Structure 1
Amino acid sequence: MRFSPDEDARAILLPAFDTLDIMDVMAPFLEKGGCSVLIGETRAEYVARRMSAERLARETPDSFRAAVARLKTVTPGLIVAVDQELGGIQRLQGLVPPLPSLDEAHALGDAALAERCRATAAAAHALGVSMFLAPIADVLDGQNAWLRGRTMGSYPQAVARLVSAFVNGVQSAGITAVTKHFPGFNALDGDPALVDVSLHTPRDRLLHNALPFTAAIEAGTRAIMTGPAPVAALDRQNAASTAPAVMTMLRNDFGFKGLIVSDDLDAPATMRGRSLLETAIASVGAGADLLLVGGGPHLDALCDGIADAARSGRLAPDRLAEAAARVRQNAAGG
């Protein structure tokens, strides 16, 4: 089946919302070719690393399931993503059995840990969720306000073991694991969601700390998310999510064949003074398949701009079509 650039432009976007009341915005997006949605958290919940008391009191498994079901009346094969991190943010807090604590995870054997992750994922799948933006594979061995309270350790081998068990567990329940944030951000001087900041870790240290990504790929992770800031050892100008060198490393050096997901393209360290449209075009042009963006009324104009770029040649039409096909394959369970 052939798709138009307008449909492909919508297929590659993963719009994020911090509420379940999104039908008015999402329905036209889905009707024109959208495939995905991120049901996320507020900035305050993100910073706190937990859901608010108000949300916990208001949301129930039934209300969450009903909101997803409404969206799926438009697009039955919709990718429904959430942040469900081992040791970090759990968007489904109070709605599904919790993932083990970090201390519990390190104490459990591989099979037992995978089973705990599978149980959480199975309950999420019953709510209509199909993708976890997790596990976090970054090895944090320096200061990093962005990832503090979200990572799984400071030793590559220990993190790799947890990453592998998580991927095996959640994907056995039908949930796509999105291992993040390639190539790994061990230390940052600021939060890339707030300021323009770069990673200055030498290449040999990057590769040393990248063991968890190798473990995730070996475990069959269906998706990998690139990071939101430039990695100076690979590309000083472009954030990982817009850098061809990072995508090439992931594809060629690490041998990853699955879905590449960008981090939030709205981040200052990713945009680096460009518009959101320019950043999106750069990201998909560099090799990303599914682009994480804030949801809202601007989606239509953003999609039109991406489609126009493909028609004019600023974005290779075949690259856009390839990205959209990979997203649709994931949505179909492939």
Structure 2
Amino acid sequence: MLKFFKFCSLLSLMLTSPFALANGTTPIDEIVSKMTLKDRVGQLLLIGFRGDSVENSESIKRDIQDIGVGSVILFDYDVALKVRDRNIKNPAQLKKLNQDMQSLAKIPLFISVDEEGGMVSRLKSRYGFESKLSPMELGTSESRVVQKEMSKLAGELHENNFNMNFAPLVDVNVNPENPVIGKIKRSFSEDENTVSQLASQMIDIQNKAGIVSVLKHFPGHGSSDSDSHLGMVDVTETWQDRELTPYRDLIEDGKVDMIMSAHVYQRNLDPDYPATLSKKILGDLLRTDLGYEGVIISDDMNMGAIKDHYGFEQAIELALNAGIDILLFGNNLHYDKDTAAKASNLIIRLVNTGKISTKQINDSVTRILKLKRKAGLL
């Protein structure tokens, strides 16, 4: 316990200074250097869990306190059990759950949710929350309606103690029959410039409410004709360069804090690996060509596109070496209460055996902590 308080005191002291230290390092660098490997690895994990309270969960308290996970995600529906009895029941319960989880963390958590509006909404009216228009409906609405709807969504997230939203979705509606994007009205528009404009507006509104925005799904999922939750998706013949426009625009405007990778193959970009596991797509295209310096998070590593084609160890090793900073395990499509512990132990072993470099881990943790500081969490 004394070690915990010493670390927290050091964290608080260093992060109050915006300036480089005498040796040329930044306060964030100093914090990273003082963290154990286990604590650093924990920041690379975003974990889902079962339970509507800390007390009723068999894993979340341990994951936060012992494993040191840096981020969590909440769902209303348990896919594996096929029941609406996961993490979200009503506003009062949700606020307390999020507050209690945050109180357990040595380093403040990113507490996240998928709240796009329309069909992708975890805060549903049946639980006492506001109903929200879908992104496609916003794409054809008057500006005052768009402003009102986006403000309502961001305000509700803030009110319920979330600080990260997996939105806006910036997939361009290239294929209106796309079963996981266009057909369920998740895209703002078939026009890439409209997508950029509405995403920019949503980012601004969420930022004012203290919500980190996550753009998804890079390099574009809007042209697909199948669902990467179920298996591998190849967009080589359908993907269009204009699907990069929202990313390019928003990166140039300095508005992007986090980008989610897509579990899609685009063999003209990388003939061997899907985007989540691709150095060519995440490193060469996103980091170098588009100049993105922020956090990259994977789509759910439990999805069929990854789980059914790569083993647990291989997928994690490839993803981190490709440039993923945060590994997302929704722990919902396939549930395992020990997911966080298994992932942490594996990554530590990969580092100790030289399969993942310490520098790579440190660079990712530095990006994550910089974003947490920017978001007002540190």
CA contact 1:184–1:209 (8 Å) conserved in 2: yes
Offset of residue 120 of structure 1: 2.1
* 8 Å Cα contact 2:192/2:243 also seen in 1: yes
Report the equivalent of 1:35: 70
TM-superposed CA distance for 1:311, in Å, is 1.2
Q: Deviations over 1:266-295 (max 9, x none)?
A: 223234632123211211111111111133
Relative to structure 1, the CA distance from residue 18 to residue 160 in structure 2 (aligned partners, 3 Å threshold; closer, same or farther) is: farther
Shift, 1:88, TM fit: 4.3
Deviation at 1:297, TM superposition (A): 1.8
Aligned to 1:286: 322
Conservation of the 8 A alpha-carbon contact between 1:134 and 1:179: yes
Classify 1:113/1:96 alpha carbon distance in 2 versus 1 (closer, same or farther; 3 Å). same
Task: Name the structure 2 match of 1:63.
Answer: 93
Q: Secondary structure at the match of 1:85?
A: strand
1:260/1:240 CA distance change after superposition, 3 Å: same
Matched, 1:16 2:48: yes
Residues 122 and 333 (structure 1 numbering): CA distance in 2 closer, same or farther, change over 3 Å?
farther
Matched-pair contact (CA < 8 Å) for 2:171–2:221: yes
Other-structure match for 2:236: 200
Q: CA separation in 2, counterparts of 1:183 and 1:310?
A: 28
Relative to the length of structure 2, the TM-score reads: 0.78
- Counterparts of residues 209-228 of structure 1 (less than 5 Å): 209-217=243-251, 218=253, 220-228=255-263
Compute the displacement of 1:18 (Å): 6.1
Contact 1:77 1:332 in 2 (8 A): no
Aligned to 1:314: 355
Matched, 1:107 2:137: no
Q: Partners in 1 of 2:100 and 2:268 — Cα distance?
A: 45
User: Aligned equivalents of 2:151 and 2:122: distance in 1?
Assistant: 16
Partner of 2:162: 129
Distance 1:176 1:25, change over 3 A: same
Corresponding residue for residue 117 of structure 1? 150
Aligned counterpart, 1:233: 268
Percentage of identical aligned residues: 20
Match of 2:115 in 1: 84
Q: Is the 8 A contact 1:133 1:180 kept in 2?
A: yes
User: Once the two structures are superposed, what CA deviation does each residue of 1:49-94 show, in whole Å capped at 9, x if it has no partner?
Assistant: xxx8x669x8211100011112112116211000011454111223
Q: How does 1:240-319 map to 2 (within 5 A)?
A: 240-248=275-283, 249-271=285-307, 273-295=309-331, 296-319=337-360
1:250 alignment partner AA: L
The 1:55–1:304 alpha-carbon spacing in structure 2 relative to 1, beyond 3 Å, is closer
Distance in 1 of aligned mates of 2:50 and 2:194: 32
AA at the equivalent of 1:4: T
Single out whichever of 155-164 and 112-121 deviates more from structure 2.
112-121
CA-atom RMSD, angstroms? 2.6
Partners of 1:86 and 1:210 in 2: CA distance = 23
Question: What CA distance in whole angstroms lies between the structure 1 residues aligned with 2:307 and 2:146?
Answer: 37
Residues 18 and 42 in structure 1, CA contact (< 8 A), matched pair in contact too: no
1:144 paired with 2:178, answer yes
> What SS does the corresponding residue of 2:161 show, helix, strand or coil?
coil
Distance 2:205 2:148 in 1: 6
- 2:207 and 2:247 mapped to 1: Cα distance? 16
Where structure 1 has 5 or more consecutive residues not aligned to the other structure, the ranges are none
Which stretch of structure 1 is more off in the superposition, 231-240 or 93-102?
93-102
Number of residue pairs matched by the alignment: 324
Question: Structure 2 matches for 1:35-54, cutoff 5 A?
Answer: 35-42=70-77
Q: CA deviation at 1:10?
A: 1.5
Q: Which amino acid aligns with 1:140?
A: N
How far apart, CA to CA, are the structure 1 residues paired with 2:85 and 2:193? 36
Change in Cα spacing, 1:245 to 1:191, as seen in structure 2 (3 Å) is same
2: CA distance between counterparts of 1:294 and 1:151? 22
SS at structure 1 position matched to 2:140? helix
Give yes or no for contact 1:163–1:215 (8 Å, CA) kept in 2. Answer: no
Residues 93 and 332 of structure 1: CA distance in aligned 2, closer, same or farther (over 3 Å): farther
Q: Using the alignment, how far apart are the partners of 2:250 and 2:49 within structure 1?
A: 27
Q: What letter is aligned with 2:229? A: A
Counterpart of 1:265 in 2: which secondary structure? coil
SS, match of residue 174 in structure 1: coil
Gaps of 5+ in 2: 1-30, 332-336
Retained in 1: the 8 A contact 2:44–2:365? yes
CA distance in 1: counterparts of 2:194 and 2:149, whole angstroms: 18
Distance of 2:50 and 2:190 partners within structure 1: 30
Which residue in the other structure is 2:205 paired with? Answer: 169
2:366 alignment counterpart: 325
Residue type matched to 1:125 in 2?
H
Report how far residue 131 of structure 1 moved.
0.4
